[in-house]
Amino acid sequence: MPELPELELLRNALTKYAAGKKILAVLPNPSRAFVIRYPPLYFARDLTGRTIQSIERRGKFLIFSFKDSGPQLIINPMLSGRFAYCSRAAPSLPATCFTLQLSGAEDIRFLDNTMMARVYLTSDPAREIPAFGELGPDALDPALDFATFSARLRRHRGELKNVLRNQAFLAGIGNAYGDEILFEAKLRPLRRASTLSDQERYDLYEAMRKVLAASVATVQRQHASGKHPLHKQDRAFMKIHGKGKATCPRCGHRISSVHAGGESTFFCRNCQK
C-alpha cells in the first residue's frame, strides 16, 4: 500500500507533469466506476475544462485543486491504486479506472487492480470523505515538534504498531513504514504505548522523522533512475519490513514476523525491546 514516501513522490511528480494544464476530457471506465464516489456521468462533466492549479498531500490522500473555486479531486489510492503519466497515443493499460486527458496530448491514468481505491470530487472533504475530518497532523509536518508528538502519543495506550498506523494519531504512516520506524527506535511493535518512558517517546519521534525523510529521498532517487515508476513501488531498500527469517542488519539475529488481519509485522526479538 502506498504510504507517505510513495505518495510524496506522486505529489511531486504529478505537480511537475500536471500543474497548470487544462483537463480537455475525462474518460471513466464504466467497468471500474466503483472507485469513483461521485456519479460517473457528472464526474466527467464537472472536471472537464478545468485547469489544475496544484496537487497536495494530506496523509494518504492526494488533493487536486483547480484555478476555479469548484470542488477538489481527492484520491485515496488504498492498497493498489496507481498513476500512469503517458502519451495519449500510448496503449491502453489494464485496470484503468479513469483517464484525464490534459492539454499537451498527455494523459494521467488512474489504475487499480483491486478497486479498493476511493476517488472523490468534493468541496467539503471533512463531511463527505469518511475519516478525513479526523486525520491527525501529517507525520512530516514541520510544525509537528516533539512536545506535540508526545502529547498526542500519551492519549493512546494500545500497541505501538497500531498507534503509528492510526491516521487519527498521525497521518501518512502505514504497515511497512511502521515496521521501519519501530526498528530504528529499537522498540517492539507489540509493546503498549502507555509503557514508554520519556526517552523512548523521544527516540520514537526521532526515528519517525529520520526514517520517513530518508525514505522520501530514496524513492525520489529510485524514480529519477527509472526504478520506481508511478505505477509500482520498490521497497527492497527497507531494513526489516518484508524480511522475515532474514538476518537483522543491526544485531545478526533472525528477523521475526507475526501475521494478523491479513497483514504482517516484522521485527527483531533481540534488539527491539
Mean pLDDT, residues 240-266 taken together: 93
Average pLDDT, the chain: 94
CA distances from 119 to 1, 82, 128, 159, 169 (A): 16, 12, 11, 31, 23
Summarize pLDDT for 192-241 with one digit per residue, the tens. 999 999 999 999 999 999 999 999 999 999 888 876 566 567 788 999 99
Q: What is the CATH number of the domain that holds 211?
A: 1.10.8.50
Q: Which domain holds residue 201?
A: 146-268
Which of 75, 110, 134 finishes a domain? 134
Q: How confident is the model at residue 141 (pLDDT cuts 50, 70, 90)?
A: very high
**Total Cβ atoms within 10 A of residue 13:** 18
Instruction: Determine the straight-line distance between the first and last CA of the chain, rounded to whole angstroms.
Output: 27
- Let me know whether 111 and 42 are in one domain: yes
164 shares its domain with 96: no
Between 262 and 69, whose confidence is greater? 69
Residues 234 and 165 occupy one common structural domain? yes
Assigned C-alpha cell, 228? 520506481
- Is residue 109 scored above 80 in pLDDT? yes
Q: Are residues 125 and 161 in the same domain?
A: no
Total of domains in the chain: 2
Q: What pLDDT, on the 0 to 100 scale, is given for residue 230?
A: 60
141 domain residue, yes or no: no
Share of the chain above pLDDT 90, in %: 87
pLDDT of residue 41: 80
Give domain status of residue 9, yes or no: yes
Summarised one tens digit per residue, pLDDT across range 32-59 is 989 999 987 899 999 999 999 999 999 9
pTM as predicted:
0.92
Instruction: Band the pLDDT of 97: cuts 50, 70, 90.
Output: very high
From CA 22, how far away is CA 175, in angstroms rounded?
Answer: 36
Buried b (16+ CB within 10 A) or exposed e, 178-204: bbbbbbbbbbbbebebeebeeebbebb
The DSSP secondary-structure symbol of 68 reads S
Radius of gyration from C-alpha coordinates of the chain: 20
